[in-house]
Chains A and B, each alone.
Chain A
Amino acid sequence: MVEAIRFYIPGDAAAVALGADELAAELNSQLAQRGLHSEVVRNGTRGMIWLEPLLEVDWGQGRHAYGPVDSAALAEILEHCLDNGPPPTVYLGETEALPWLRAQQRLTFARTGLIDPLSLKDYLAHEGFIGLQKATAMEPQAIVESVVESGLRGRGGAAFPTGIKWQTVLDASAGQAGKYIVCNADEGDSGTFADRILMEGDPFSLIEGMAIAGLAVGADTGYIYLRSEYPHAAQTLKRAIGLAREAGYLGDSVAGSGKTFDLKLRIGAGAYICGEETSLLDSLEGKRGMIRAKPPLPAIEGLFGQPTVVNNVITLASVPVILAKGAEYYKNFGTGRSRGTIPVQLAGNVLRGGLLELAFGMSIRELLDTFAGGTASGRPARAMQIGGPLGAYLPPTQWDTPLDYEALAERGAMLGHGGVVVFDDSVDMAEQAEFAMQFCAVESCGKCTPCRIGSVRGVETLQKIRRDENRAENLLLLNELCETMRDASLCAMGGLTPFPVTSAIQHFPEDFGVEDNNA
């Protein structure tokens, strides 16, 4: 029966930016013309952004994919799936059989792209809330131990062990004012969008993770601090929180536990520094987003001075599967001290960009060759920036490095939030270095001089170097400046900005007019 055919067009912001809304409207109108009332689900993205808008059709034999689809191709697609017409050029076959998806280990993103993000029924049918149900029957200490045991480390950038942070908050005494769970959804790193895709594609998993965190440390209030650049995610989260509350997964008795936990959504206002946890807490308190000196740790004195868990979206959304399937299951993915999976975001000049979830350990080169399929421009890839705007630039000689926190750190680089931005050989690395300093100058909170003044001096010095003004002298000066920023800045904004700069000089000296590598 044709009415039972289901169509899927992502409502994800990237798909929408590439025409998904117009496509969905056109599909509905063509279905109406045929007198059909088939359901068109607005799912999350499967992560294959180069294929967006991706149209999937389930005619009773699994989901079949077409992409990228523009409205002009719809008639042909409908003839193929409804009238036994020939397959159009955008037909990709069964979605699950696509190599990009098959090569992944999807734990945190297991549901994203599959389900209707706002259907609790879908969520439950795909193992949703199993972790939370288990947690309601556990002692707080046992929940924390599961998370410790899983080896989960923060996915926001600093890779701090999540279970240890939770233990500190569990052990802290809070008095009447209570404890807080804060979700860092500021996702300011350029080249990253995993948080966005998860919040738009599977918001209940984040809500579930936060509720488990609340039960684990004894917090009754949670905040999601979402960047303003993500209006689609804001809409989805707002509705998901309402639905979860109505269904009793938030509120006075979370999933029947008798314990209270509720969530509030807060929107940032365009400040990169508010992704740093202490600045974020000040922002949540209604202040300028200034960095606080540590100690005290937010785990002891966080939001409104109370013990607070601050975790990234992906960290929190990885907790339900750890509780549902066990710490051992999660820990068995990965390598060394990098356990579990990491959502890698392939961006910039790549043929196939998007999100893929992988066990730690794959080499960077494999990512580029197997998944990205080379550059979009067809020119040779020359540099990769990993870990956002504060991450180092890696030359091809370092691309055999595995995706692993320690392996990257050994090379003066960092995995951060898992963003990989590829540049082809038309890149001017001196220009990129100048941008790194410029970005720091624009986004510095202004609290300490090495960062506030250093970044402005850094821009000026790099401009002189690029103009070939006293080049040798200015390179020395820049080097000193970078050292000062690295060693004397109060937080990682000023402290890490030197990494993209010095890595660019070290690995691409020719772009700075330097002959030898030891500059």
Chain B
Amino acid sequence: MSDSSVSDTVREAILAFQAEPGGLMPALWAVQNVLGYIPEEEVPTIAKAMNQSVAEVHGVISFYHDFKSRPPAAHTVKICRAEACQAMGGRRLQAFAEQQLGVEFDQASSSAVALESVYCLGLCACAPAAMVDGKLVAKLDEDRLATILAGLHGKGANNG
């Protein structure tokens, strides 16, 4: 049931990587960067273009946390759940985010805001840290996070 214009977009996105040795990862990134995710029904198109089996492509998509098989929520909040952030109240912040957004980490939902785990953003000296629609924020506390989350409502695009 592949939508032909979407398939064209996919083919175009990965054109540059077809001849690239081991080019599947950059090809998948290219698709996800254009469409926001890697649609299930486009996997055969990708497999054919990359001269790999559908099973191989599926295997790669499912292995990596970053590759998404479903359309992304309007907004994505990634909160660092690793040790340096834990040492600065990260666990409290995580619980607060779940409660504010009414969603659990890494669970599919119809909510406009997706909450995702990330294990370290390299901002461990100014913890706790998060990435909100691609923008980094550090030295977070509940108040600042609440302000940021409130700011998401009514905002449109998700870029990361």
| A345 within 8 Å of B (CB atoms) | yes
* Contacting residue for A190 out of B65, B84, B131, B136, CB 8 A: B84
* Contacting residue for B88 out of A270, A289, A348, A354, CB 8 A: A348
Q: In the docked arrangement, what's the CA distance between A13 and B126, Å?
A: 11
| A502 within 8 Å of B (CB atoms) | no
Find chain B residues with CB under 8 A from A188 CB: 119-120
Counting contact residues on chain B (CB < 8 A from A), the size range is: 35 or more
Cross-chain pair count, CB within 8 angstroms: 155
Counting contact residues on chain A (CB < 8 A from B), the size range is: 35 or more
- Complex interface: stretch among B5-13, B23-31, B107-115, B145-153: B23-31
List 26 interface pairs A-B (beta carbons < 8 Å), by A numbering. Answer: A13-B121, A13-B122, A14-B123, A14-B125, A17-B126, A17-B136, A190-B120, A190-B124, A191-B82, A191-B84, A229-B131, A231-B134, A267-B29, A269-B25, A271-B64, A271-B65, A284-B25, A285-B22, A286-B22, A286-B23, A286-B25, A347-B84, A348-B87, A421-B84, A421-B124, A442-B119
Closest to A229 in B: B121
Find chain A residues with CB under 8 A from B29 CB: 267, 269
B126 to chain A, nearest CB (A): 5
A187-201 contacts to B, CB under 8 A, are 187-193, 196
Contact code string A406-434 (vs B, CB < 8 Å = 1, else 0):
00000000000001011110010001100
| B154 within 8 Å of A (CB atoms) | no
Query: Is B125 within 8 A of A346, CB to CB?
Result: yes
Query: Is B66 within 8 A of A284, CB to CB?
Result: no
Q: Which 9 A-B pairs have the closest CB atoms?
A: A353-B125, A286-B24, A190-B82, A348-B87, A269-B64, A347-B124, A270-B65, A270-B66, A49-B125
Query: Is B138 within 8 A of A350, CB to CB?
Result: no
Find chain A residues with CB under 8 A from B64 CB: 268-271, 289
B18 to chain A, nearest CB (A): 12
B interface vs A, CB < 8 Å?
21-26, 28-29, 50, 52, 56, 59-60, 63-67, 80, 82-88, 91, 117-127, 129, 131, 134, 136-139, 160
Query: Is A435 within 8 A of B125, CB to CB?
Result: no
Known: A50-B125, A348-B84. A190 touches B119 (CB 8 A): yes
Find chain B residues with CB under 8 A from A345 CB: 124-125
A262 to chain B, nearest CB (A): 13
| A34 within 8 Å of B (CB atoms) | no
Contact code string A277-302 (vs B, CB < 8 Å = 1, else 0):
00000011111110000000000000
B10 to chain A, nearest CB (A): 16
Query: Is A348 within 8 A of B136, CB to CB?
Result: no
Query: Is B122 within 8 A of A196, CB to CB?
Result: yes
Find chain A residues with CB under 8 A from B118 CB: 229, 270
B71 to chain A, nearest CB (A): 18
Closest to B27 in A: A286
Find chain B residues with CB under 8 A from A432 CB: 83, 86
A interface vs B, CB < 8 Å?
13-14, 16-18, 49-50, 52, 187-193, 196, 228-232, 266-272, 283-289, 304, 345-350, 353-355, 376, 385, 389, 419, 421-424, 427, 431-432, 435, 439, 442-443
Find chain B residues with CB under 8 A from A422 CB: 87
Q: In the docked arrangement, what's the CA distance between A435 and B91, Å?
A: 11
Query: Is B137 within 8 A of A288, CB to CB?
Result: no
* Contacting residue for A424 out of B84, B85, B87, B124, CB 8 A: B87
Query: Is B21 within 8 A of A266, CB to CB?
Result: no
Q: In the docked arrangement, what's the CA distance between A188 and B65, Å?
A: 14
Query: Is B126 within 8 A of A389, CB to CB?
Result: no
Q: In the docked arrangement, what's the CA distance between A289 and B67, Å?
A: 13
Question: Taking each of B23, B88, B137, which has the highest tally of chain A beta carbons within 10 Å of its own beta carbon?
Answer: B88
Query: Is A193 within 8 A of B122, CB to CB?
Result: yes
Closest to A381 in B: B87
* Contacting residue for A443 out of B66, B87, B119, CB 8 A: B119
Closest to A354 in B: B125
Find chain A residues with CB under 8 A from B84 CB: 190-191, 347-348, 419, 421
Query: Is A348 within 8 A of B83, CB to CB?
Result: yes
Find chain B residues with CB under 8 A from A268 CB: 25, 64, 66
Query: Is B83 within 8 A of A385, CB to CB?
Result: yes
Query: Is B88 within 8 A of A189, CB to CB?
Result: no
Question: Taking each of B25, B60, B139, which has the highest tally of chain A beta carbons within 10 Å of its own beta carbon?
Answer: B25
Query: Is B88 within 8 A of A349, CB to CB?
Result: yes
Known: A267-B29, A286-B60, A304-B21. A435 touches B86 (CB 8 A): yes
Find chain B residues with CB under 8 A from A347 CB: 84, 87, 124-125, 127
Q: In the docked arrangement, what's the CA distance between A32 and B59, Å?
A: 54
